[in-house]
Amino acid sequence: MPSIRPLCYNCVPTKGRPVFKFFKKKVNPTDLCVQARTLVSQGKVAEALALLDQAIKDSPHFSMAYADRGTVYAMTGRHQEAILDLNKALDLGFDAASVLTTLATVQKEQGDHQAALTSFAKAESLTPGNPLIYYNRASLHITLGDWVHAIADLKKCLTLQPDPRTRALIEKRLAEVAASSTADLNIAEVPHDNGQLRFRYARVMFADAARWIRHGLFTEYSEAGQRLSEGHYVQGQEHGLWRDFHPNGQLAALGEYVGGKEHGIWRFWDEAGTEGPSLNYVHGEATPT
């Protein structure tokens, strides 16, 4: 009569006698993620992380587990760990816009505004009807002093038919941003010798009430009317994302200022759109990457 091997262990003959080796049955990683989400909703973060750790240990290529753990890390302020896990989830093919939106929000909190804008753009390309993308990106635009794009994103939220409670919150936020964008701001326009607009920028009166300082969106134009440079000032200093353009409209440079000095990775392109070597700035001091 043939022997029947029990579930979850192997029968290994040794000197004529069977030796039974028991194996722990793996739990489906999707089930672990579902259980972890339930625990998070109950405020049991440590227990949820333990389940997600187990899911990743058992199934190291299971993208959902990285996405969920990265989200929990983001919720609890563990930003570096969140970025690692969320990027890992994306590398493994997890293309949910929610992951990109969470990643963008964490990048914003870390001060990596350029990366955050890129992540928001990718999320928008996946689910252009998700109001959370536009609402959170509006917050980033506000941080950068970009009132125009902040208002545009909040208005976009309203076109996506939010529920009455959410609509009320968006409308309140929109009113606050609109008020901030005009309060105490004065728009200055400086022409070229030929009369074409050269500089257009927002400014505020300095504390001594004796002079204006740039504060808000700044744009430079060529004599032919093409945009050459665009970025933001905060209290008289360049701050946040800046872009320079070639006369043909091709992007020439992209990077960030912090307190009036280049900081972080700056990328450069020629007029044909071919990217050249980038530079890594640390408070205005450049080194090749």
In tens, the pLDDT along 114-163 reads 889 889 999 999 999 899 999 999 988 887 777 778 889 999 999 998 88
Q: Do residues 242 and 230 make contact, with C-beta atoms less than 8 angstroms apart?
A: yes
In the chain, the largest separation of any two C-alpha atoms, in whole Å, equals 103
Task: Of 103-112, 179-188, 267-276, give the lowest mean pLDDT range.
Answer: 179-188
27: pLDDT confidence band, cut at 50, 70 and 90? confident
Which structure tokens are listed for 149?
């794009």
pLDDT at residue 1 in the model: 44
pLDDT at residue 185 in the model: 63
- Digit-coded pLDDT (tens) for 36-79: 999 999 989 999 999 999 999 999 999 999 999 999 999 988 99
The answer to whether residue 180 scores a pLDDT higher than 60 is yes
The answer to whether residue 80 scores a pLDDT higher than 50 is yes
Task: Of 33-37, 145-149, 247-251, give the lowest mean pLDDT range.
Answer: 145-149
Does residue 271 belong to any structural domain of this protein? yes
Q: Crossing angle for the helix pair 63-75 and 29-41, nearest 10 degrees?
A: 20
Mean pLDDT, residues 257-285: 90
Q: Do residues 104 and 122 make contact, with C-beta atoms less than 8 angstroms apart?
A: no
pLDDT at residue 210 in the model: 86
Mean pLDDT, residues 72-93: 93
Does residue 148 belong to any structural domain of this protein? no
DSSP tag of 250: -
pLDDT at residue 8 in the model: 41
Q: Do residues 253 and 270 make contact, with C-beta atoms less than 8 angstroms apart?
A: no
Pairwise pLDDT comparison (57 vs 109), residue with the higher score: 57
Q: Do residues 19 and 9 make contact, with C-beta atoms less than 8 angstroms apart?
A: no
Does residue 206 belong to any structural domain of this protein? yes
Does residue 19 belong to any structural domain of this protein? no
Does residue 58 belong to any structural domain of this protein? no
Does residue 155 belong to any structural domain of this protein? no
Q: Do residues 174 and 155 make contact, with C-beta atoms less than 8 angstroms apart?
A: yes
Listed in sequence order, the residues at least 6 apart from 74 whose beta carbon sits closer than 8 Å to its beta carbon are 82, 86, 102, 105, 106
Q: Do residues 98 and 125 make contact, with C-beta atoms less than 8 angstroms apart?
A: no
Q: Do residues 214 and 236 make contact, with C-beta atoms less than 8 angstroms apart?
A: yes
Does residue 16 belong to any structural domain of this protein? no
Give the domain extent around 251: 186-288
pLDDT at residue 183 in the model: 55
Mean pLDDT, residues 189-205: 91
Does residue 144 belong to any structural domain of this protein? no
Give the mean pLDDT of the chain: 86
Structural domain count of the chain = 1
The answer to whether residue 242 scores a pLDDT higher than 70 is yes
CATH number, domain with residue 192 = 3.90.930.1
How many other CB atoms are there within 10 angstroms of residue 260's CB atom? 15
Q: What is the number of helices (H) and of strands (E) in the chain?
A: 9, 12
Q: Quick one: which of 79, 36, 80 has its CA closest to 56?
A: 36
Mean pLDDT, residues 270-281: 91
